[in-house]
Structure 1
Amino acid sequence: MEEIKPQLIKITFDGIEVEVEPGTTIMQAARKIAEADESQAALVPPAMCFYKPLSASGGKCRACLVRVAQGSAKDPRPMPKLVPSCITQVQEGMVVENTTNQNVLDTRKSIVEFLLINHPLDCPICDQAGECHLQDFAFEHGSAKTRYEEERRTFDKIDIGPHVQLHMTRCILCYRCVYTADQITNKRVHGVMNRGDASEISTYIEKAIDNDFSGNVIDVCPVGALTDKTFRFKNRVWFTKPEDAHRDCDKCSGKVTLWYRGDEVIRVTARKNTWGEVNDFICNTCRFDKKKTSDWVLEGPSKVKRSSVISANKYRADLVKKPDFALKLASTQFKPIDDSRPYTTDEETIRHQSIENNDKANHRSLLAKNN
């Protein structure tokens, strides 16, 4: 019997039409546009709590709010408020505004300010720096100033098991770790305790997480709240080299990313997709116990976004295509340099030219001041 495929739904996202299956969320539709055309990646709403592999995730941080200018073809009225794109399903004829709507951008800036009210600005010492989603979110949508004058909420660092440390002061309560522990293990012993501004990720009477997949809470955390104790303060990610590798493991898929410092494996993580999400969770044996190259079958360098600081100094300049917008910007704002001109290497000549240039600059300043 021939399989009947569901009828696709057509929506318009920031002026771009896309067809998706029923049940697709607005964010997934935006990601589909970006996957078809990498130049449209900036259109995808940011996500701090949504995590596609985890069911029921999303709707917590409000970072992905968008405006639905037309609910559907049958009911063209706009939705009265901004809606979270990660949990709002599309309708036939829906029109969505994201980067094209100023109200959405202003709201997103307010969300960044809200998330940073209690989050400490300790990026220089945080192990998550360089791969932190909150850093990216604040850089793209945040403000350089803060209006908050009260004291920040602080907590003491605690160990959750032998390999994971919780720095609750950095937590933004995205609930990703709770969903991860709940859905991939049968012995979840941690969750969100208390209410309001006293809410915190905690363990029941500080009972340790001792299952074989507890280390995955490190990978899903978008900030530096849950960190790998075996990697803490060892290195910066942009000084390390990520390599894809695999091994035969009787507990998990065995597909990982090895992070090298020279010839030493200093960290093992699960592989992440374009959106920073883990598709195949790995066990603690692969993550914490197998840190020798001989334990793995290397597949080659991990694919890293050119925009990421992790890619710094890792690829030859002649193999990396410069983005078109950078070349256009350079052509409009900078004068072309004639490299055929002779270079001045005599120190005495350079000194005299420097004095002349300074005199000319001072003369121009005096003229501008007198006028």
Structure 2
Amino acid sequence: MKVTIDNITIDVEPGTTIMNAARQIGPHIAPPAMCYYEPLKASGGKCRGCLVKVTAGSEKDPRPMPKLVPSCITQVQDGMIVENTINEQVLETRKGIVEFLLLNHPLDCPVCDQAGECHLQDFSFEHGVSKTRTVEERNTFEPVDLGPYIKLNMNRCILCYRCVYTADQITDGRVHGVMHRGDHAEISTYIEKAIDNDFSGNVIDVCPVGALTDKTYRFKSRVWFSKPEDASCSCGKCSGKVTLWYRGDEVIRVTARKNEWGEVKEFICNTCRFERKKTSDWTLEGPTKIARNSVISANKYGASTIKPAFPLQQAAEQYKKIDDSRDRSFLAPQKQLN
């Protein structure tokens, strides 16, 4: 099927969603995803962050769809025309989506372990506004220990359901879910049960914000101060393919490997994640590939770092050039350094 997204036409297989079609073009065209997670079945359609405008439904029926549609659950039709980054209605709507997601979200970035690799930070930076219009008090919750390894900060949760789908699809018995409805909805466990199974730590990796964090890593280091290395081991429970995060020679945390969309393709067990914190436990495969525009890459590339285009463009548009044509003879001569 042929689909055109932001004036770029590509061929995709029948059944492909608009989101995955856009991802085939590249990150600059792909809509943001806060709840959609390709490896998890039935994910998507919750946050509405990926809304796009379909200006032509198909070649047979070129009428536009009357409302914006979620790209993560809408399949393409032959001849469909979609507008994402070039549509003002889409961009304006995303500002509202960010505002709703931040309605009860606290300003925990200075103390949150997810800072630097938080999808909500990226989403709000790209599409949000600097001011808030709300004056009401925010919903607040006390932090909860979900077993020996996981801490739940419900204040930061955006109810994306990723952790619920993960527990449903890769573990034998899910003991947590979304309780209550409306503005009272929250992630919680059944009758205060702890999340305790061999793959429970994967709910940390799939969480797009800092609601579910690793208790063995909390407050140890900022992500941009650590060095990620791909490693593997012979594990009888999982694939054993992980990312080791180093601070000096110390392994401060272990996570599953993620692709360019921040999604885990091969989930790992708790033994690999929490109990193997020595380099001798692993076979190192080399540095993890990190996008140059990610804060994780800070101070990793030295002089070869490519300057991002956005701040240079912003400076050119909003600041005047310095006039150096003035007479400088009145300036005192500077001392020569030895």
TM-score (norm 1): 0.84
1:56-71 correspondence runs (5 A):
56-71=42-57
Length, aligned pairs only: 327
* Match of residue 196 from structure 1: 182
Q: Residues of 1 paired with 2:155 and 2:309: CA distance?
A: 41
> Would the alpha carbon gap of residues 205 and 329 (structure 1) be closer, same or farther in structure 2, given more than 3 Å must change?
closer
Question: Which amino acid in the other structure matches residue 254 of structure 2?
Answer: V
* Match of residue 156 from structure 2: 170
Q: Residues of 1 paired with 2:12 and 2:267: CA distance?
A: 27
Q: Residues of 1 paired with 2:311 and 2:235: CA distance?
A: 45
- SS of residue paired to 1:42: coil
Mark the runs of 5 or more structure 2 residues left unpaired by the alignment.
325-330
Question: Which amino acid in the other structure matches residue 151 of structure 2?
Answer: Q
Q: Residues of 1 paired with 2:332 and 2:201: CA distance?
A: 63
- Does residue 249 of structure 2 align to residue 263 of structure 1? yes
Residues 293 and 308 of structure 2 are in contact (CA less than 8 Å); yes or no, is this contact kept in structure 1? no
- SS of residue paired to 1:349: coil
- SS of residue paired to 1:43: coil
* Match of residue 165 from structure 2: 179
- Does residue 6 of structure 2 align to residue 14 of structure 1? yes
Higher-Rg structure is 1
1:328-357 per-position Cα deviation (integer Å, ceiling 9, x unaligned):
8899986899xxxxxxxxx97349xxxxxx
Question: Which amino acid in the other structure matches residue 12 of structure 2?
Answer: V
* Match of residue 104 from structure 2: 118
Q: Residues of 2 paired with 1:280 and 1:180: CA distance?
A: 12
Give 1:83 deviation, angstroms: 0.2
1:1-371 correspondence runs (5 A):
9-34=1-26, 41-318=27-304, 320-322=305-307, 349-350=333-334
Question: Which amino acid in the other structure matches residue 280 of structure 1?
Answer: E
Q: Residues of 1 paired with 2:231 and 2:75: CA distance?
A: 37
Give 1:324 deviation, angstroms: 7.0
Question: Which amino acid in the other structure matches residue 333 of structure 2?
Answer: T
Q: Residues of 1 paired with 2:149 and 2:299: CA distance?
A: 31
Structure 1 segments of 4 or more deviating over 2 A?
320-337, 347-351
* Match of residue 366 from structure 1: none
Give 1:317 deviation, angstroms: 1.7
1:311-337 per-position Cα deviation (integer Å, ceiling 9, x unaligned):
00112324x455678888899986899
Give 1:174 deviation, angstroms: 0.1
Q: Residues of 2 paired with 1:331 and 1:134: CA distance?
A: 28
* Match of residue 361 from structure 1: none
* Match of residue 327 from structure 2: none
Q: Residues of 2 paired with 1:138 and 1:150: CA distance?
A: 20
> Would the alpha carbon gap of residues 331 and 88 (structure 1) be closer, same or farther in structure 2, given more than 3 Å must change?
closer
- SS of residue paired to 1:123: coil
- SS of residue paired to 2:136: coil
Identity of aligned residues (%): 73
- SS of residue paired to 2:28: helix
Mark the runs of 5 or more structure 1 residues left unpaired by the alignment.
1-8, 35-40, 338-346, 352-371
Question: Which amino acid in the other structure matches residue 272 of structure 2?
Answer: C
Give 1:210 deviation, angstroms: 1.2
Q: Residues of 2 paired with 1:48 and 1:281: CA distance?
A: 19
Q: Residues of 2 paired with 1:327 and 1:231: CA distance?
A: 36
Question: Which amino acid in the other structure matches residue 215 of structure 1?
Answer: G
Q: Residues of 2 paired with 1:49 and 1:191: CA distance?
A: 15
TM-score (norm 2): 0.93
- SS of residue paired to 1:243: strand
The alignment yields a C-alpha RMSD, in angstroms, of 2.1
Question: Which amino acid in the other structure matches residue 230 of structure 1?
Answer: T
Residues 166 and 203 of structure 2 are in contact (CA less than 8 Å); yes or no, is this contact kept in structure 1? yes
- SS of residue paired to 2:293: coil
